A and B are shown apart, each in its own frame.
Chain A
Amino acid sequence: DTAVSQTPKYLVTQMGNDKSIKCEQNLGHDTMYWYKQDSKKFLKIMFSYNNKELIINETVPNRFSPKSPDKAHLNLHINSLELGDSAVYFCASSQEQPGQGADFAPGELFFGEGSRLTVL
């Protein structure tokens, strides 16, 4: 069973298009994240949701809109794609409220395998 799964793994699209990346976690975690890793390999946090509520919103263009229909899902929609949006997008989850199950270390982040977006 994959703990954090993202789709699609690869996405190639033209500038100006709109695309979405989906993420699901089956760990029962209450917090989910989107990270962006650019060509220089820096891993930067974009958004964080706790129980469907937006907690962290870094300086990200308005073209990026996260949506969390429930605490197990966090999707990322990107409008009007630009060349600079090309990157690997990682979804992650963690348990930020104590007292849950003990199959992971407290505050441990679980990452998906990433979605490589290429904008042409």
Chain B
Amino acid sequence: DAKTTQPPSMDCAEGRAANLPCNHSTISGNEYVYWYRQIHSQGPQYIIHGLKNNETNEMASLIITEDRKSSTLILPHATLRDTAVYYCIVRVLYNFNKFYFGSGTKLNVKP
């Protein structure tokens, strides 16, 4: 029921951009794309979300393809503290929908 597919792991050099892909080919027109991350065993933390347009905040950028079937989370200058599991989730807003977390991508930022 997660409805998203992500690579299990990725490596990134410190200071470089980390690009994390997510496939959500069955996304509905009213479903948003959310990204969360979980550092070690802490509670997951919200990063960013979007519907159609690309979004940017102080943490990351979200690029959503025109057909909305996939998206990419970009951490512009990855640091060691960005090492975490990153989850891509699709959900309808304000609909008491379940937040389904898939297996996520383990991002390893290396010195």
User: Contacts A96-B96, A107-B34 given: A42-B43 contact, CB under 8 Å?
Assistant: no
B32 pairs with A42, CB closer than 8 A: no
Q: Are B98 and A45 in contact (CB under 8 A)?
A: yes
Contact B100 A109 (CB under 8 A): no
In the bound assembly, the distance between CA atoms of A43 and B49 in angstroms comes to: 19
- Interface flag for B44 (CB, 8 Å): yes
Q: Is the CB–CB distance between B46 and A97 below 8 Å?
A: no
State whether the Cβ of A75 lies closer than 8 Å to any Cβ in chain B.
Answer: no
Asked if A111 meets B98 with Cβ closer than 8 Å, knowing A41-B85, A105-B49, the reply is no
Nearest B residue to A114 by beta-carbon distance? B43
Does A48 count as interface, using CB distance less than 8 angstroms? yes
Of the four ranges (under 10, 10 to 19, 20 to 34, 35 or more), the interface on chain A belongs to 20 to 34
Please state if B94 and A109 are interface contacts (CB–CB under 8 Å): no
A101 to chain B, nearest CB (A): 15
A-B contacts at CB below 8 angstroms, number: 63
Assess the B41–A114 pair: CB atoms within 8 A.
yes
Within 8 A of A (CB), among B39-53: 41-46, 49
Q: How long is the Cα–Cα vector from A31 to B99 in the complex, in angstroms? A: 12
Contact indicator B94/A33 (Cβ below 8 Å): no
Instruction: Contacts A4-B43, A43-B44, A113-B42 given; indicate if A106 touches B93 (C-beta within 8 A).
Output: yes
The answer for the CA separation of A111 and B36 in the assembled complex, in Å, is: 11
Q: Verify A56–B49 contact, CB threshold 8 A.
A: no
List the interface of chain B (C-beta within 8 A of A). 32, 34, 36, 38, 41-46, 49, 85, 87, 91, 93-96, 98-101, 103
Known: A94-B99, A111-B44. 5 other contacts (CB 8 A): A41-B85, A42-B103, A45-B100, A88-B41, A109-B46
Interface of A toward B, CB cutoff 8 Å: 4, 31, 33, 35, 41-45, 48, 50, 55-56, 58, 88, 90, 92, 94, 96-98, 104-114, 116
